[in-house]
Amino acid sequence: MLQHISLLRLRARAALLCVFCAATLLMPPARGASPAPGRAAYDCEGEACSVTALEWEEEGQRFRATNSSDRRVRVEVETFAGQSAVVVEPRESAYLEVKTFHGPYRAAFE
């Protein structure tokens, strides 16, 4: 009788593990939360999107914002802890010290 109860518990745990694994695989990835290897672009909002690029740098584990214009650009992202922003000088790059963010980043001229 005790062996039968142990076998039922084992089967129940295995079934729950299968359901959990299936649910995890079917969940869509969070938008912009973590860069995929080789991902070239992130969604952007704002007037300076055409001159701003945001790239994940694996080596430093951070995002690099590049400004290709002749004007200063402010780049902002929303994180789970709040906002993070950096001002990028003309034709320069600057780093956002975050590992993840959600939603599109914002780029605006200063």
Domains in the chain: boundaries = 44-109
Q: Model confidence over 66-84: pLDDT tens digits?
A: 999 999 999 999 998 899 9
Q: Model confidence over 18-30: pLDDT tens digits?
A: 555 555 555 554 4
pLDDT of 3: 73
How many Å apart are CA 66 and CA 63, to the nearest integer? Answer: 10
Q: What is the pTM of this model?
A: 0.62
DSSP label at residue 49: G
Contact indicator for 67, 44 with CB cutoff of 8 Å: no
- What's 44-109's CATH class? mainly beta
Q: Could you give the residue ranges of the DSSP H alpha helices within 1-110?
A: 2-26
Q: Model confidence over 11-69: pLDDT tens digits?
A: 777 666 655 555 555 555 444 444 444 444 689 999 999 999 999 998 888 999 999 99
Residue 7 CB neighbours (<10 A): 10
1 pLDDT exceeds 70?
A: no
Residue 18 DSSP SS3: helix
Q: In what order do the strands lie in the sheet with 93-96?
A: 52-57, 62-67, 93-96
